[in-house]
Amino acid sequence: MKFFTQLILTTSIVMAFCAVAAADTYYSYANGKLERPQGYRDWPYVGTPLTPNDMNGGKAPFPEFHTVYIDPASWAHWKKTGEIREGAILVKELISVGVKSAPSGQGYFMGEFLGLEATIKSEKLFPNEPGHWAYFTFSRPDHETLERITPPEPVANCNECHRASAANDFVFTQYYPVMRATKGTGEEGTGGKSDELVHLPGMPQR
């Protein structure tokens, strides 16, 4: 009997440990405002569009690299089901172009952090937003500081374009091969499992 008592106690403690490790809320939203999320450079990586200032009349709407991350629980859910879960948050960090030439060739190379955006899918929090997606910006015009809390953007600023043009549930997966490869594929799409670099469905023609 002592053994079973130990076993139950041990199992409970290990399960409690697991529960803490798998906590699935990655933001705080209260009184109509989102607190700036933290620690997202530890999160799974989604993709990096680039809209450099020098290809957008000197002033890109989103300067310039956009590194996109997804919270770990939503990443696990995406791999398992191919769906964006209720409560998911994606973060977009804006980064300047630093230099345009390096030993690896001519191109665009990351410089400094410029800003931060985020989007949350939640029917519970945003029942009236199209698709239940709300969009937030912590960026400031000086590109040197960030807001600490911020309200959702009006639908016309972000949601409308995501609804009209994003390939998969308001997410621009057509520009994110990592998302296309891992959509409902379990661990198969996480890289290196196959000799074939298969063509991924969902990419628009150039």
Find the binding residues for its own copies in span 34-63 (CB under 8 A): 36-42, 44-45, 47-52, 55-56, 60-62
The edge-to-edge listing of strands for the beta sheet with 88-102 is 45-47, 65-70, 88-102
**Contacts with 206 (C-beta within 8 Å, 6 or more apart), sequence order:** none
Of the ranges 81-89, 121-129, 149-157, 168-176, which one interacts with its own copies (CB under 8 A)? 168-176
Q: Is the alpha carbon torsion for 11, 16, 20, 23 positive or negative? A: positive
Query: Can you tell me which of 84, 89, 90, 93 binds its own copies, judged by CB under 8 A?
Result: 93
Query: Can you tell me which of 73, 143, 149, 167 binds its own copies, judged by CB under 8 A?
Result: 143
- The CB-of-177 to its own copies minimum distance in angstroms stands at 5
The reply on whether position 84 binds its own copies by CB under 8 A is no
Q: Which has the closest alpha carbon to 110: 121, 120, 123, 96?
A: 96
Asked whether the beta carbons of 79 and 185 are under 8 A apart, the reply is yes
Query: Can you tell me which of 104, 127, 128, 141 binds its own copies, judged by CB under 8 A?
Result: 104
Complex with its own copies: residue 116 or 134, whichever CB lies closer: 116
Q: Tell me, rounded to whole angstroms, the distance of Cα 16 from its chain centroid.
A: 27
Per-residue x/- track, 13-32, its own copies (CB under 8 A): xx--x---x-----------
In one-letter notation, the amino acid at residue 140 is: R
- The CB-of-127 to its own copies minimum distance in angstroms stands at 26
Report the C-alpha gap between 173 and 178 in whole angstroms. Answer: 8
Number of residues interacting with its own copies: please give it, by CB under 8 A. Answer: 89
The reply on whether position 200 binds its own copies by CB under 8 A is yes
